[in-house]
Amino acid sequence: EAQVTQNPRYLITVTGKKLTVTCSQNMNHEYMSWYRQDPGLGLRQIYYSMNVEVTDKGDVPEGYKVSRKEKRNFPLILESPSPNQTSLYFCASSASGTSGREQYFGPGTRLTVT
Amino acid sequence: AQRVTQPEKLLSVFKGAPVELKCNYSYSGSPELFWYVQYSRQRLQLLLRHISRESIKGFTADLNKGETSFHLKKPFAQEEDSAMYYCALYSGGYQKVTFGTGTKLQVIP
């Protein structure tokens, strides 16, 4: 089954404790993105990647890091989480080309930073 | 900078009534616009894209470059249409994507 998976689905952590949220897709998609979803603000793009070793900042990259060492994986790293990073995070992937703009979303990771 | 505006946070309509979810955009280039939908407890999924001019689940959306709008319409609302709807703008050839803040559609039986 074609899908995007994220782990963990729920995470409660403390300020300053480094964490990684994994994202994996099995559709051989070139593009992958991370978003955060906050009430009243909708989805905001954090980082995106056009292919292996090619990443770029979205609208809200501060406090986050990403890497794309393999095509299927796009982990989101919070080196020193803070309470304002409490949010619902979505990973998404899509194929390249004008016909491949549809993004396939993961189930989301609910992160709470205390 | 590109921007997507969805002015209504909540839109309540009765079953069988027409629906129009508004989306306005600001972008200097040639826009690629999409509507995504998120049903309760489900992940976001594509509803429709302007380039294909298709009708999905009875919904249509026309890109109006003069008014910089991409409103989502359906002539007769159904209860199963209740969901969160997001308008999204893609810039250039990459995956820089800007979403609107979303409109919650509530269809009253």
Task: State residue B52's pLDDT score.
Answer: 72
Q: Tokens 């080309």 map to which residue?
A: A97
Task: State residue B72's pLDDT score.
Answer: 96
Which residue from B34, B45, B94 is facing A50, i.e. has the nearest CB? B94
Distance CA(B106)–CA(B83), nearest Å, equals: 7
Share above pLDDT 90 across residues of chain A, in percent, rounded to a whole number: 82
User: From the DSSP assignment, how many helices (H) and strands (E) are in chain A?
Assistant: 0, 11
What mean pLDDT, rounded, does chain B reach? 91
What mean pLDDT, rounded, does chain A reach? 93
Q: What is the pLDDT of residues B30-59, one digit of tens each?
A: 888 999 999 998 899 999 887 777 778 899
Return the sign of the alpha-carbon dihedral for residues B84, A38, A87, B50.
Answer: positive
C-alpha separations of A12 from A8, A17, A94, A109, B43 in Å: 10, 11, 29, 11, 21
Contact B43 A90 (CB under 8 A): yes
Average pLDDT over residues A24-32: 93
Contact B43 A35 (CB under 8 A): no
Share above pLDDT 70 across residues of chain B, in percent, rounded to a whole number: 96
B94: pLDDT strictly greater than 80: no
A42 to chain B, any CB pair closer than 8 A? The answer is yes
Which residue from B43, B90, B101 is facing A42, i.e. has the nearest CB? B101
Q: Which long-range contacts (CB under 8 A, 24 or more apart) does A56-61 make?
A: A56/B94, A56/B96, A58/A33, A58/A34, A58/B96, A58/B97, A59/B98, A60/A36
Contact B90 A101 (CB under 8 A): yes
Q: Is B23 helix (H, G, I), strand (E, B) or coil?
A: coil
Task: State residue A40's pLDDT score.
Answer: 87
A97: pLDDT strictly greater than 70: no
